[in-house]
Amino acid sequence: MAYYARDDFFNNPEVLERSVEIFKGKLDIGWKNLDIERVKCRPSDPRRGLTFDDTNVGSYGWDQIPEKIRHNYSMAPRGAVQPPGLPHLGYDINRKSEVWADNAPALYEESKARHWIPTREVPWDAVEQLGHSDELERGLAQLCTDLTCMATALGDIPSKWVWHINQELLELKMFQCAQMFDAAQLADVFRKRAIAGGTGLGRDHAPLGELLKCVLDAGSFPCASASTHILLAGLMQVLLRHMGACSPNAADETIARFGVQDVSRSIAYGVEHMRSLLKERPHESTGLRGHLDEVENALVGYLASPMLFSALALVTAGGREKAAEAVPQVTALYRKFADEHLERREAAGIGSETSPLQAFVSELEA
Amino acid sequence: MSYYGSTDYSYNSDFNLRVRDMKKGNLDFGWLDDARDKVEVRRQDPRRGLMLQDIEVGDYAIENTPEVVRENRGLAPRGAILAEGSDQPDLGPTLNKKSDVWGYRVQSYWEEAMSRQWNVTTDVPWQDMDKYEIPEEIEFAFCQLCTLLSEVEMIATDLPSKWSHHMNSQFQEVKGFIATQCIDEARHAEVFRKRALANGVGLLRASVRGEHALKGILEADSYSEGSVFLHVLGEGFILTLFRSSEFISPTPVEQRMFQLVMQDEARHVSYGLQHLKYLMDECPEARPQINGFLDEAERHLTGLFNPDQLESMIVLGGKGTSPECIKRGVETVGAFQGKQIQEYFHRAERAGLPERRERSPLLELQQRMLTAIQAV
Amino acid sequence: MAIKFPSVEFFQELANRMQGNAAEFEKLGFCDTVMAVKVDGGDPHLYGLTFSCFDCTDVRELGGADELELDFTLVAPLALWREMFESIQKSGIPEPAYTLNSLSHVGDRMAVVYDDPEGHDKFYRFMATIQAFVNQASDLDIEWA
C-alpha cells in the first residue's frame, strides 16, 4: 500500500458516531443550504441532445478555468463546493494552456456521436473472399501491421498523460479517454484485418520503433501533443487514405473511411491545442519547433525504410512486378503528406524553415 | 526531447545512397520472401462480425504467449514478426508478465464493451425532464448524489490510464479493455455532471473521506493491487449503489441513466474478478500481498460511506425529509449496505480469496454500527 | 388473441418481438447469457431463455435448473410477475418500483439465484437488454393463469 490516509476513518469514533446518528434518522442535510450557483441547462438543439456546450455556464463552465489552477488538486468536480481537507491527488499538469483546446469538448461529443464498431461494421465477408494476389495481400498486411503499432502509440500517449492532468480540465481528460478508446479500436481492427487476410501480420521494423519511441518519450505534454496529434495522426490519416484508395477490397475502404475520421479528431485537437498554448505562452514555440523537427528526423527514417516504401509501392501498383513504376506515385503521396503536415504546423504556429520532412521529400522528387 | 533516434538522417551518406536507389525503383522486397504459414480465419457468426475469438489461431493466440514476454519490447502486436533483439528499439514496457494484467475471458469483455457503448448526450431522454415536477428537497438530494458520483467516477479513468501504457503490447486485449473502461467512466462522470446541472440546482459538496479512498486507489503499488481495489472492491460497491439509485430515482430520466451506467460497471467488475482469479491461479505467491493490500483498502473504503452520500440517499429513498420519509429511507439504505458487503465477499471468494470474509474489517464496521444503533 | 402467462408461447412472443425490433436491440449491443425465469406459486414453472448476439434464440420450459447451464434465475411469485407486466403495460416502461432491478434489489421481492458471481453480474451487464425484452409485453393481450 502506498498511501495511508492521515486519518484512519475506520477507527475514528466520530465517523462511526455520525453514521449511527444518520441511521437513527438524525440528518443534517447541510448540503441543502450551500451557497452555490443554481443553473438549469437544457439541450439548445434537441436533435443533438444535452451537449457539453449546453453545460458551459458560469462557474461550472470551462471558460472560467484560470490559466494557473491553484484552487483544486482533488477530484472534486469543477464548480462543486470543496470542503476543507480534500487531499492532493498528485496532479502535476495544472496550467490550462498546457493541455486545453477550446474544441476538445465538441470533439469529445463528436467521438461519441460518430462511434463505430469495427467488429460489425466492416464488411468482413470481403476479406473472407479476397479477390487479389497473396503478394498484394502481404503488402496490405504489412501496412496494417505498421498501423497497429501506430494506433497503439496513439492510445499510449493519452494514457501516459491523462492521469497527471488536473480534474478541473475535465472535458479535455474525457476527450483523451475517447482518444484511448478510438485508438484501441483502430489497433484491434488493423490487427484483425491483417490476420483475417490469411497472410497474417507482417514485420515489426526498427525505423518505425524509433519513430514511435521519439513520440512516446516526449518530455512534456505539449511536445507529446505536437508529435502525436499533428505528426503521427497526420501520418496515419494519409496512409489510411492511400490504403482505402488503392485496395480493391471493400473492407479496407470501410476501415480507411472510419479510421480517417477517428485520427482526424486528434489532428483537430492538436492544432487547436498548439494555437491556445502559443497564444498564452508564445515563447514555447521555439522548443516545440525543435522537438517536431527532431521527430521529423525519425519520421524520415521511417518513410525511407525499405519495408514501408516497398510495401506502399507494391500496394499502389497492385503487385511486386510493377512496384518500381509506382515510385513516383509514392513520392507524390509523400509530397501530399509533407505539404499537409507543414500546413498544419504553420496553422498551429510552429512552422519550420528547417523541416527534415520537407528536405527529404524534395530530395526524393529531385 | 527525451529521446533522440540513433540516426541523424540529414548527414548520412548511406541514407542518401538508399534514397537514390529508391528513386531508381530499386526496392528491397526481402520481407516478401519470408514466407509465413497462411491462416484461415472465418467469422463464426456473421451477425456478430469478426470477433477477437475468431482470430485466436496459431502465433496470434494468447494461449501461445509465454507467462513472461521477453522478446517484444516495442509496440508490435502479438503475432507480428519481431525485429532482431539488437535492432529493436526498447519502448520500455514494464508489465511483461501475463499474470500482471490478464484476466479470463478478457477478449469477450472487449467485444462486449465495443458493442454496448452508449451516448449520454442522446441516449438519456433529457427532453422528457420538463414532463416531471421534482420537489426541491428531492432535487437537492439527487444533485448531492450526482456530485459524489461525478467525483468518484474519474478515478476509474485515471487508474487504468496510469498503467495501460506500461503494458506490453502483447496484451493488446487488456489495453483495449481498459481503454473501454476509461471511456465508460468518462461517460459516467459526464452523465452525473450533466444531470446535476440540468434541473435548477447544480453541483453540491465534494467528499473529503471519499477522496482519500480515491487516492488509495490511484497510488496502489502495482496494477493488480489497483485493479482489485478499483474493479472488485470499489466498483463492486458502486454497482450496488447504482442498483439502489435506479430504484430511488425521482423520474424515468434518472432511472434510464442508472440502467445504462450499471451495465458498464458490471463489466468492469467482471474483468476485475477474472484478473484476480487469474492472478491467484497463476501466481499464488501474490496472495499475501493482495490480502495485505485489501486489509487497508477496505479501511479506506469506509470513506465512501460519507454523511452527505448517506443522507442524500436516505432522502431519495424515503422521498422526502419528514420523519416518516426518513424512517423509510433509512430502512432502504441500510438494506443496500448489507448487500454491498455480502456481494463483495462472494466475489472475493469466487476469485480465490475466501479468507476475506474472515479477515475483512468491513464486517467489524457493520457490526459496530448495528451494535451502536441497537444500543440506543 | 390473448397469450397465457406463464407459458413458452408468451416468452416466445417476446423473443419474436425482440427480433422484430432489431434496431433497438442492436443499439444496445451483444447480449450473451442463458437465464431462467421462475414463476413460483401453486403451479410453479421454470423457463430457460438463451440470449445470443441480439436475439433470444431459445425459449423452453425446464423440468429443473440443471437442464441448462444457467447464469442466473429470476424467481418471483406469479402475482409479482403480473404486477410487473401490468406496470409495463401502463406506459410502455415499468414504474421505478417495477423494473427488474428494483424488484430484485429492494426487499428482494424477486430473487436472483446464481452459483457464480460472474453469472450474477451478467444480469447487470445485460440489464438494459433484458429490461427491453420484458418491455416487449407492453401491448400484449395477456391471459393470466
pLDDT digit string (tens) for A160-173? 999 999 999 999 99
Confidence of residue A156 (pLDDT cuts 50, 70, 90): very high
What three-state secondary structure class fits C52?
strand
Among B residues 115-144, those touching chain A with beta carbons less than 8 Å apart: 115, 117, 119-122, 124, 126-127, 129, 137, 140, 144
B295 exposed, middle or buried (CB, 10 Å; 0-12, 13-18, 19+)? Answer: middle
C74 Cβ contact list (under 8 Å, min separation 6) = C35, C36, C37, C38, C100, C104, C110, C111, C112, C123
**How many other CB atoms are found less than 10 A from the CB of residue B373?**
16
* pLDDT of amino acid A100: 98
Within 8 A of C101 by CB-CB distance, chain B residues are 243, 246-247, 258-259, 262
**Any domain includes C40:** yes
**Closest residue in chain C to residue B267, using alpha carbons only:** C125
Cross-chain residue pair B46–A34, CB shorter than 8 Å = no
Within 8 A of B151 by CB-CB distance, chain A residues are 75-77, 80
Give the number of domains in chain B. 1
* pLDDT of amino acid B335: 83
Confidence of residue C2 (pLDDT cuts 50, 70, 90): very high
- pLDDT of C14 > 70? The answer is yes
Chain C contact for B54 (CB, 8 A cutoff): no
Helix B323-350 with B235-248: angle, nearest 10 deg: 150
Among B112, B248, B331, the residue to mutate for chain C (most C Cβ within 10 A): B112
Chain A partners (3+ C-beta pairs within 8 A): B
Cross-chain residue pair B350–C117, CB shorter than 8 Å = yes
pLDDT in tens, B180-212: 999 999 999 999 999 999 999 999 999 999 999
**Any domain includes B156:** yes
**Any domain includes C143:** no
| Distance (Å) of CA A165 to CA A154, A162, A176 | 18, 5, 11
What phi and psi values does residue C56 have, to the nearest 5 degrees?
-100, 105
C48 is in which domain, residue-wise? 3-135
Which regions of chain A carry the CATH code 1.10.620.20?
A: 96-365
- CATH code of the region A96-365: 1.10.620.20
Within 8 A of B181 by CB-CB distance, chain A residues are none
- How far away is chain A from the Cα of B104, in angstroms, using its nearest Cα? 19
Q: Facing residues of C33 across strands?
A: C51
**Any domain includes C53:** yes
**How many other CB atoms are found less than 10 A from the CB of residue C140?**
17
**Any domain includes C144:** no
**Any domain includes B71:** no
CA-wise closest residue to A315 among A302, A298, A333 = A333
* pLDDT of amino acid C46: 97
Residue C10 sits in a domain whose CATH number is 3.30.1050.10
Lowest mean pLDDT segment, chosen from A53-62, A165-174, B331-340: B331-340
B225 is in which domain, residue-wise? 98-375
* pLDDT of amino acid B115: 96
| Distance (Å) of CA B252 to CA B52, B257, C99, C116 | 36, 9, 11, 31
Within 8 A of A120 by CB-CB distance, chain B residues are 47-49, 115
Confidence of residue B154 (pLDDT cuts 50, 70, 90): very high
Mean pLDDT to the nearest integer, B285-309:
90
Confidence of residue C41 (pLDDT cuts 50, 70, 90): confident
Please give the mean pLDDT across all residues of chain A.
Answer: 95
pLDDT in tens, B206-254: 999 999 999 999 999 999 999 999 999 999 999 999 999 999 999 999 9
Among B residues 113-152, those touching chain C with beta carbons less than 8 Å apart: 115-117
* pLDDT of amino acid B36: 82
- Cβ A27 vs Cβ B326: under 8 Å: yes
**Any domain includes B142:** yes
Tell me the C-alpha distance between B307 and B298, whole Å: 18
Give the number of domains in chain C. 1
**Closest residue in chain A to residue B217, using alpha carbons only:** A3
What's the grid cell of residue B82? 519481431
Tell me the C-alpha distance between B240 and B336, whole Å: 7
- Whether the full predicted model's pTM is greater than 0.90, yes or no, is yes
Within 8 A of B248 by CB-CB distance, chain C residues are 96
List residues of C whose CB lies inside 8 A of any B CB. 28-30, 32, 53-54, 93, 96-97, 99, 101-102, 105-107, 116-118, 120-128, 131
- Which among A86, A219, A310 has CB closest to B27? A310
- How far away is chain C from the Cα of B127, in angstroms, using its nearest Cα? 17
**Any domain includes C26:** yes
Please give the mean pLDDT across all residues of chain B.
Answer: 93
* pLDDT of amino acid A17: 87
Confidence of residue B143 (pLDDT cuts 50, 70, 90): very high
pLDDT in tens, A207-227: 999 999 999 999 999 999 999
Containing C73, the helix (H) or strand (E) segment is strand C72-77
Cross-chain residue pair B299–A9, CB shorter than 8 Å = yes
Cross-chain residue pair B262–C32, CB shorter than 8 Å = no
Within 8 A of C111 by CB-CB distance, chain B residues are none
Instruction: Give the DSSP per-residue string, A264-311.
Output: HHHHHHHHHHHHHHHHH-GGGHHHHHHHHHHHHHHHHHHHT-HHHHHH
Within 8 A of B45 by CB-CB distance, chain A residues are none
Residue B210 sits in a domain whose CATH number is 1.10.620.20
Q: Which amino acid is at B71?
A: E
- pLDDT of C36 > 90? The answer is yes
- pLDDT of B1 > 60? The answer is no
- pLDDT of B73 > 60? The answer is yes
Mean pLDDT to the nearest integer, A77-81:
98
* pLDDT of amino acid A4: 87
CA-wise closest residue to A183 among A215, A221, A162, A153 = A153
Chain C contact for B7 (CB, 8 A cutoff): no
pLDDT in tens, B22-48: 999 999 999 988 778 899 999 999 999
- pLDDT of B376 > 70? The answer is no
Pick left, alpha or beta for residue B6 (phi over 0 → left; psi -120 to 50 → alpha; otherwise beta). alpha
**Any domain includes B36:** no
Q: Which amino acid is at C43?
A: D
Q: Are strands C33-40 and C72-77 parallel, antiparallel or unpaired?
A: parallel
Cross-chain residue pair B252–C93, CB shorter than 8 Å = yes
Among A residues 123-182, those touching chain B with beta carbons less than 8 Å apart: 124-125, 127-128, 135, 138, 142, 145, 148-149, 152-153, 155-160, 162-163, 167, 170, 173-174, 176-178, 180-181
Rg over CA atoms, chain A: 25
**Any domain includes C67:** yes
pLDDT in tens, A267-302: 999 999 999 999 999 999 999 999 999 999 999 999
- Cβ A251 vs Cβ A274: under 8 Å: no
Cross-chain residue pair B247–C102, CB shorter than 8 Å = yes
Within 8 A of B265 by CB-CB distance, chain C residues are 124
| ipTM of the prediction | 0.97
Chain C contact for B269 (CB, 8 A cutoff): yes
Cross-chain residue pair C105–B249, CB shorter than 8 Å = no
Tell me the C-alpha distance between C24 and B374, whole Å: 50
